Amino acid sequence: MLGNGVKKGGFPHKVKKGTIHLPVYESQDLKLTFRTQGDLDQRIHGICSAEGGRHKWSKKYAFSSQNGKVAIVTGGAKGIGCSTAKQLSRLGMHVIIAGNNEAEGNEAVTRIQQDTQNEKVEFLYCDLASMKSIRQFVQNFTAKNLCLHVLVNNAGVMLVPERKTADGFEEHFGLNYLGHFLLTNLLLKTMKKSGTENLNARIITVSSATHYVGELNFDDLNSSYCYSPHGAYAQSKLALVMFTYCLQRQLSEDGCYVTANAVDPGVVNTDLYRNVCWPGRLVKWLTAWLFFKTPDEGAATSVYASVAPELEGIGGCYLYSGQKTKSADVSYNEELQRKLWNESCKMAGIPDSA
């Protein structure tokens, strides 16, 4: 094992240009496209894109059917989450969409069932801005007596005005990070029972390239003194990466058959940008077709991390466009990881196991 629980030889792997076609669930083809985003990728991820903004990295895979597996996707009613849920459903998984809008969730379930011909798709209410709701969701899921093989921590808010969660936390930190921290910890018992030596359970947490400019202010994690939407969002995404690394280290030390990886979907054309100032929204509207990924493209790495056989038993990675990528230097600081974990346990009201 290397670094944060990464197996030798796992990454990086070489990829060829084209489109990914994956023959999967009941003769249906699953299509994933990894697209780099030109100069942005070269500056942030060190990926050179010879063909500019719409360059595509890809490789053909033959994923086996995922029938019998159970997945939870938070924020799975729309955007990247919905695309992720759809692709996992197409692979044959029993997919549970966790979200805070029942109407949108049920509509997504119907669409996915029709698109994939997989009836094992359902919605369960979960408001990640409320710890009470998260605990109720876990109770409702546990009552189904299902295994849990894949957890995709996808839901989030971006650049919202200053406001608090039901528990009094700044919303970016409370929903994006702390909600998923609590949810993951409450589901770990089930995931540990579900994973096996040859088929590990997988935790995939969606971060963002914004984490590279994020800072953790332990004196003011709630951004109470000086609120900046950009700063609060970046902090939440950095916290998610550090949480992933700390979690993987614990899982490896405990010998659990569960892995944890963080993924970066890239710049994706979704409703998350609705809180951007109107000039920014105008620029997005004019340029999205060229510079922004589609939700399906944004979901590609989440799906890849959920099922790729070459990632079996590999955790502690930061993945972008199907490749292991270096995250921010500060994210590897184990002392800060443990400090964040300890503070998060206090905030969430759960035992500290770091």
Decide the pairing of beta strands 323-324 and 318-320.
Answer: antiparallel
Q: Give just the sign of the alpha carbon dihedral 130, 131, 136, 137.
A: positive
Please enumerate, as own/partner, the contacts of 248-251 that have beta carbons within 8 Å and a separation of 24 or more. Answer: 248/4, 248/5, 248/315, 248/316, 249/4, 249/5, 249/316, 249/334, 249/337, 250/353, 250/354, 251/5, 251/315
User: What number of helices (H) and strands (E) belong to the chain?
Assistant: 10, 12
CA–CA gap between residue 297 and residue 28 (Å, rounded):
18
CA–CA gap between residue 220 and residue 6 (Å, rounded):
33
Among 79, 71, 68, residue whose Cα is nearest residue 141: 71
Cite the active site residues. 233
Burial pattern 69-107, b for ≥16 Cβ within 10 A else e, equals bbbbbbbbbbbbbbbbbbbbbbbbbbbbbbbbeeebbee
Burial (CB count <10 Å: 0-12, 13-18, 19+), residue 30: buried
State how far the alpha carbon of 75 is from the alpha carbons of 156, 173, 206, 298, in Å: 7, 16, 11, 14
CA–CA gap between residue 69 and residue 66 (Å, rounded):
6
Give every CB contact of residue 192 below 8 A, 6+ residues apart in sequence.
Answer: 201, 256, 257, 258
State how far the alpha carbon of 246 is from the alpha carbons of 64, 251, 262, 338, 344, in Å: 30, 9, 12, 7, 12
Is 243 in contact with 344 (CB distance < 8 Å)? yes
CA–CA gap between residue 95 and residue 34 (Å, rounded):
23
